[in-house]
Amino acid sequence: MPLSTDQQAEIDQARDGTQPTRRAVVPALEEILYQALPALDHGFVRVVDYMGDDAAVVQAARVSYGRGTKKVSEDRGLINYLMRHRHTTPFEMCEIKYHVKLPIFVARQWIRHRTANVNEYSGRYSILDNEFYVPRPEHLAAQSKANRQGRESVLAGKEAERVFDILKKDAELVYEHYLEMLNEGEDGAPLDPERSGLARELARMNLSLGFYTQWYWKTNLHNLMHFLSLRADAHAQYEIRVYADLMVDTLKRWTPICHDAFLEYRMGGASLSKTGLAAVKRMIAGEKVEQKSSGLNPREWRELMAVLGLG
Amino acid sequence: MPLSTDQQAEIDQARDGTQPTRRAVVPALEEILYQALPALDHGFVRVVDYMGDDAAVVQAARVSYGRGTKKVSEDRGLINYLMRHRHTTPFEMCEIKYHVKLPIFVARQWIRHRTANVNEYSGRYSILDNEFYVPRPEHLAAQSKANRQGRESVLAGKEAERVFDILKKDAELVYEHYLEMLNEGEDGAPLDPERSGLARELARMNLSLGFYTQWYWKTNLHNLMHFLSLRADAHAQYEIRVYADLMVDTLKRWTPICHDAFLEYRMGGASLSKTGLAAVKRMIAGEKVEQKSSGLNPREWRELMAVLGLG
Amino acid sequence: MPLSTDQQAEIDQARDGTQPTRRAVVPALEEILYQALPALDHGFVRVVDYMGDDAAVVQAARVSYGRGTKKVSEDRGLINYLMRHRHTTPFEMCEIKYHVKLPIFVARQWIRHRTANVNEYSGRYSILDNEFYVPRPEHLAAQSKANRQGRESVLAGKEAERVFDILKKDAELVYEHYLEMLNEGEDGAPLDPERSGLARELARMNLSLGFYTQWYWKTNLHNLMHFLSLRADAHAQYEIRVYADLMVDTLKRWTPICHDAFLEYRMGGASLSKTGLAAVKRMIAGEKVEQKSSGLNPREWRELMAVLGLG
Amino acid sequence: MPLSTDQQAEIDQARDGTQPTRRAVVPALEEILYQALPALDHGFVRVVDYMGDDAAVVQAARVSYGRGTKKVSEDRGLINYLMRHRHTTPFEMCEIKYHVKLPIFVARQWIRHRTANVNEYSGRYSILDNEFYVPRPEHLAAQSKANRQGRESVLAGKEAERVFDILKKDAELVYEHYLEMLNEGEDGAPLDPERSGLARELARMNLSLGFYTQWYWKTNLHNLMHFLSLRADAHAQYEIRVYADLMVDTLKRWTPICHDAFLEYRMGGASLSKTGLAAVKRMIAGEKVEQKSSGLNPREWRELMAVLGLG
């Protein structure tokens, strides 16, 4: 359960009641506004604000005065054109803000995308909660031997049990010691009135990377889609992909036409190298092309075969 | 008159009617939403969208779940603290989008601020309108002799007349030739059905820097205040300051508490150098400090005297 | 001739003599360092500084301590891998700085790429030179009727003559009036000692977009390649492509392995949409695919045929 | 000892021997190029590349053709002017690249500065070293009661001993378990040939925030000084200030004139609010100003008194 009763009450209150606005409104996104969409064992993604919609992309591309009277089909045609030809600036005219709760090792991967605004909960000022990530059995992957970055079949039996045991017990231990060094009980009262307690900015270093942190993360539609194209990809680490997948759903609610164009031209499409393209041309001409005659090295050849659904 | 009847009708339509939203709404800004605020002789600034309000800054600084139940006075205290100590990230959580019509030489100054999203009307695709800037007599400044960047007293009499005459006639001439090269009449019909017309992307180079362009310009609250601190400043060129001053007004409507903090800690405040601060300390101690004994060079000394309202 | 005798002497002096450094040095780039490579009728591109080389990309990808002892072939393999899989951050570790002289309308297109550092010659402080762009006859393109952004066959005969005449005479006229308003002769002396002269920041607005400006422009290798992929592309306006093509040459001298990867995976490659990829798969399987059965609209179909060198 | 013998050998090799370059060279920085400057118990900062010098700032501000023939005193005057009036773009024309080894909790603070290029050692691909931070006794600060972010007097006696014990033992424990889950010995051989080993990208989550990571970090001179103004400040956490202080030293070697201007106008200077400035003016006029009559709240008043060296 990611939320306390107080937190849920604050969210309910924020969702309760509406006000009139002259701005573009997206009912499908308003429906889930502020709601915590669960991710992993204790995390979530919440859309907390947004600006613009599909029409705002069109409006910016045309630098127009009004909301436009064009038909939806024309909007779709223009958005597809912009996406296909990488005219990215009109997509920068929409903005979205998320509140995300996520394990620190995921946050460290995420923050590498610098084109966003971030406010993170501070372990210098505040005490972090006792919540840490433990993978579910089906995600307890073994290290791939072929690919240094990859996972392979999951661990099982005694090995899996041992890993669960370590992750859980170590997290409990370091958190208990964190509170002891801070000289704080879970209720906030000093454990020992005689002691001072270590500075929060120091004590936090005893926590491990599986503990949850949270932040407000705001970005524009173009940068969001770039982030999602990398993090909703099959090569991304499972633990960040869970968040990206939820955000693809919010993208669909927010800007359905851009979402479709994103799937058509980014996620579902493919990039061919110069040599790969030459090989494809020969294949289309009916030639039988082999790796050796393709000019591609074995790894690139395998990647091309995978893209083409061959081999 | 900056707007055509069609444009005004599009704006009126956009302003007409509201929709319910769960997001933060700022009634004082909604009041002027989409309206063209006139600037210079043919330009304008329009707020076309916004996201967040004063409370959103507080919310991000606290990474909180709801809109918050704190009193306005506490919000003000926190915002002042953040501004004073240059904790800038919470201000990045609000976003605003403007539609601006402005002379090209102003646009070239403006675009140097890179931390914004921009979509400009394209002279490659479209034909630019016949609108150019001519200063009003009181802004027809002479070149300062003391300061290479500055203006001095205004030109008058025959010299002023001659300048007006040049600016107006040259602009009319280059625009007429622009249409001739394009082979287009003001009504869009070919001037001469026998001719092809020069490519738009080339013909535009005959237009001068006083012609108007327009763009959608979107930025966050932090970057907006940074832009305004430079461009609403007395040292900024008058023609860009006009726009910045209008935008300070929209800032006041949008986030009144941030606006007040901005005036208190940025626009109305002062930066002292190490040596300047030492001189101030001596003055407060009752010492009579002269430029020579201050350690400041004559120019810095004059700047300090100006800041302190002395000399 | 883009350079005055004084400017050429300054460049010769900068090129004259070397100093020892422990940093990575790229002799092929040092060869042309500071030299003005001519562009258009009065412009140029000069490499004025650089940091890093191909090995620096490898070094950053590995976060290694030394320059590395790996073979060049391994460096090439890793760089190709990084480029293919869009691991962009190692390419950000190299930096290059150019001095560019270019027409204002080209500068306005160029500056839309915000991920660079720029210092432009200021028309507020200084007087701009009397140099403007006039296309050569073979670049005097007519407006395309099919594509609003495109060029078609060149203008010829009387129409071409008239265009040259307008561009040249209007530029001469507005410059003469610029000096008259400034009250400055070409030699810098006041034209009329009785007059004040209009402020430089105002007088410049009479100049047209064909006049040359200049700037220092610095960016990292990743952003440079992104810029070049858009501006050395066949769809870019000829006048900016001239600069981009020269810069591709400097890229080849600077980081030859990255340059090759850039041609292989960016410039020479292709992006397929989801639907386009499905069509390609069917073609490879020997099916005869038509536009109608492809699921692509006519325009996308034409683009795909062009990519595949068909139709 | 932060470096292994192999690492030191790689550094020595990189330092060994020089090559001629036509670029600007800074001998004082070359002297320490590649050297690891120790920070905390296992960390370091190394300058691994740089581009430009003080003269490059001047050159960019002037958009000049050569290295310039101006005297050093004129360079200093211009640099001071640029710094004082926040003309920041010329400072962006110099670039520096560091290799830094630092505890993860420091890295997480550091990465909030997004205007830099970063390549971090990857715990997804590689196994992290068994090195973690333990504060020295004089830095074992107690939590401040007045200021949630601050430190107070250091812990001593049994409380200190207990903290050291926890930090050390917990780090050893989680690292041992990290290797166990990976099924790797310190020598890289599998601990148990029967087991698969948990994926690296998962196992790392058991490590705590005190463990060391490392990255290549590259930024321009303007952003470097902004970073240093915040992180070499007395309010910054001690553990990041150690790095910032070392980097201020490298700044002094690299661009001594900019360094001096940075100390004079940023680090050693002060910002006054509008109300604070009004109070200072009254003090200079000989008036006795109290907090209540100043218009400042008690906290702001204390901050002003501190700036002025009063009270």
Residue C152 and residue B125: Cβ atoms within 8 Å? no
Gap from C254 CA to chain D (nearest CA, Å): 14
Q: Is C113 helix (H, G, I), strand (E, B) or coil?
A: coil
Q: Does B263 contact D at CB distance below 8 Å?
A: yes
- Residue B148: the pLDDT is 60
- Residue A252: the pLDDT is 98
Contacts of residue B272, defined as CB under 8 A and 6 or more positions apart, other chains included, come to B280, B304, B307, D269, D270, D271, D272
Query: For chain B, what's the residue count?
Result: 311
Nearest to D114 by CA among A227, A111, C87: A111
Decide which of C143 and B246 is more confident: B246
pLDDT at D1 over 60: no
Residues of B in contact with D303 (CB under 8 A): 84
List the catalytic residue out of D46, D200, D204, D231.
D231
pLDDT in tens, B188-225: 788 998 888 999 999 999 999 999 999 999 999 999 99
Q: Give the confidence band of D161 by pLDDT, cuts at 50, 70, 90.
A: very high
Domain ranges of chain D: 1-132+210-269, 134-209, 274-308
C-alpha D11, offset from chain centre: 21
d(CA B112, CA C215): 12
Q: Are A97 and A47 in contact (CB under 8 A)?
A: yes
Angle at D253 between CA D248 and CA D254, to 5 degrees: 90
What is the DSSP code string of C172-193?
HHHHHHHHHHHTB-TTSSBS-T
d(CA B102, CA B79): 33
Contacts of residue D133, defined as CB under 8 A and 6 or more positions apart, other chains included, come to A205, D40, D41, D42, D43, D103, D210, D211, D212, D239
Average pLDDT over residues B121-132: 91
Q: Are D37 and D44 in contact (CB under 8 A)?
A: yes
Gap from A206 CA to chain B (nearest CA, Å): 23
- Residue C295: the pLDDT is 96
User: Is the CATH code 3.30.1360.170 the one for domain B1-132+210-269?
Assistant: yes
Which residue blocks in chain C are alpha helix, DSSP H? 5-15, 27-30, 54-62, 72-84, 104-110, 157-182, 200-203, 221-231, 238-254, 256-262, 274-284, 291-294, 298-308
What is the DSSP code string of chain D?
----HHHHHHHHHHHS--EEESS---HHHHTTTT--EEETTTEEEEEEEEE--HHHHHHHHHT-SSS----HHHHHHHHHHHHHTT--GGGGG-EEEEEEEEEHHHHHHHTT--SSEEEEPPTTTSPPPS-B----GGG-EEEPSS-TT-EEEEP-HHHHHHHHHHHHHHHHHHHHHHHHHHTB-TTSSBS-TT---B-HHHHGGGSBTTBEEEEEEEEEHHHHHHHHHHHSSTTS-HHHHHHHHHHHHHHHHH-HHHHHHHIIIIIS-EEE-HHHHHHHHHHHTT----HHHHT--HHHHHHHHHHHT--
Decide which of C189 and A151 is more confident: C189
Q: Give the confidence band of D144 by pLDDT, cuts at 50, 70, 90.
A: confident
Q: Is A238 helix (H, G, I), strand (E, B) or coil?
A: helix
* Complex prediction ipTM: 0.94
Residues of D in contact with C221 (CB under 8 A): none
Mean pLDDT (chain A, rounded): 93
d(CA C87, CA B249): 44
C-alpha B95, offset from chain centre: 16
- Residue D147: the pLDDT is 63
> Can you state the angle between helices B274-284 and B298-307, rounded to 10 degrees?
60
pLDDT at D245 over 70: yes
d(CA D93, CA B201): 31
Neighbours of chain C (3+ CB pairs under 8 A): A, B, D
Average pLDDT over residues D238-259: 98
Residues of C in contact with D20 (CB under 8 A): 18-21, 25
Residue D209 and residue A210: Cβ atoms within 8 Å? no
> Can you state the angle between helices A238-254 and A221-231, rounded to 10 degrees?
140
- Residue C149: the pLDDT is 60
Gap from A27 CA to chain D (nearest CA, Å): 34
Q: Does B302 contact D at CB distance below 8 Å?
A: no
List the catalytic residue out of C231, C241, C266, C299.
C231
Would you call A204 a catalytic residue per the annotation? no
Q: Are B223 and B116 in contact (CB under 8 A)?
A: yes
Q: Is C85 helix (H, G, I), strand (E, B) or coil?
A: coil
Residues of A in contact with C84 (CB under 8 A): 273, 300, 303
Q: Is A214 helix (H, G, I), strand (E, B) or coil?
A: strand
Residue A293 neighbours by CB distance under 10 Å: 11
Choose from A80, A86, A148, A272 for mutation: most chain C CBs within 10 A: A272
pLDDT in tens, C199-239: 999 999 999 999 999 999 999 999 999 999 999 999 899 99
- Residue C187: the pLDDT is 77
Residues of C in contact with B235 (CB under 8 A): none
For residue D53, how many C-alpha atoms fall within 13 Å in the half-sphere facing its CB? Answer: 16
- Residue B69: the pLDDT is 55
Residue B143 and residue C199: Cβ atoms within 8 Å? yes
d(CA B67, CA B53): 11
Q: Give the confidence band of B149 by pLDDT, cuts at 50, 70, 90.
A: low
Alpha-carbon separation of residue D272 from C150, C296, D306 (angstroms):
55, 63, 12
- Residue C311: the pLDDT is 74
Q: Which strand (E) or helix (H) includes residue B166?
A: helix B157-182
Residue D284 and residue B230: Cβ atoms within 8 Å? no
Residues 99-138 of B with CB under 8 A from A: 99, 117-121
Residues 4-63 of C with CB under 8 A from D: 6-7, 9-11, 13-15, 17-25, 30, 33-34, 49-52, 56, 59-61, 63
Q: Is A169 helix (H, G, I), strand (E, B) or coil?
A: helix
Instruction: Tell me what percent of the residues of chain B surpass a pLDDT of 70.
Output: 96
Choose from D46, D216, D223 for mutation: most chain C CBs within 10 A: D216
Pairing of strands B212-220, B95-103: antiparallel
Residue A10 and residue B34: Cβ atoms within 8 Å? no
Neighbours of chain D (3+ CB pairs under 8 A): A, B, C
List the catalytic residue out of A231, A282, A299, A302.
A231
pLDDT in tens, C63-79: 888 775 567 788 999 99
pLDDT at B107 over 60: yes
Q: Give the confidence band of D146 by pLDDT, cuts at 50, 70, 90.
A: low
Residues of C in contact with A309 (CB under 8 A): 281
Q: Are B87 and B60 in contact (CB under 8 A)?
A: no
Decide which of C291 and B123 is more confident: C291
> Can you state the angle between helices C298-308 and A274-284, rounded to 10 degrees?
100
Residue A206 and residue D181: Cβ atoms within 8 Å? no
Nearest to B225 by CA among B257, B271, B196: B257
* Residue recorded with tokens 């562009």: C39
Q: Is C38 helix (H, G, I), strand (E, B) or coil?
A: strand
pLDDT in tens, D32-63: 999 999 999 999 999 999 999 999 999 999 98
Average pLDDT over residues C39-52: 97
For residue A101, how many C-alpha atoms fall within 13 Å in the half-sphere facing its CB? Answer: 25
Of the candidates C143, C170, C196, the beta carbon closest to that of B173 is on C170
Average pLDDT over residues B243-255: 98
Type of residue numbered D219: T
- Residue D66: the pLDDT is 75
d(CA C114, CA D94): 17
Of the candidates D135, D162, D181, the beta carbon closest to that of A163 is on D181
Nearest to A36 by CA among A207, A258, A250: A250
- What pTM does this model have? 0.96
Q: Does C144 contact D at CB distance below 8 Å?
A: no
Which residues does residue D98 pair with via DSSP β-bridges, in sequence order? D47, D217
Q: Give the confidence band of B36 by pLDDT, cuts at 50, 70, 90.
A: very high
pLDDT at C49 over 80: yes
Domain A1-133+210-269 CATH (choose: 3.30.1360.170, 2.115.10.20, 3.90.1200.10, 3.90.1170.50):
3.30.1360.170
Choose from C260, C277, C301 for mutation: most chain A CBs within 10 A: C277
Where chain A has pLDDT below 50, the residues are: none
Query: For chain D, what's the residue count?
Result: 311
pLDDT in tens, C297-310: 999 999 999 999 99
Of the candidates D263, D272, D281, the beta carbon closest to that of B269 is on D272
Residue A198 and residue D141: Cβ atoms within 8 Å? yes
- The fold adopted by the segment(s) C5-133+210-267 is Gyrase A; domain 2 (3.30.1360)
Nearest chain A alpha carbon to D162: A181
d(CA C125, CA C182): 12
Choose from B80, B284, B287, B310 for mutation: most chain D CBs within 10 A: B284
Residues of C in contact with A267 (CB under 8 A): 274
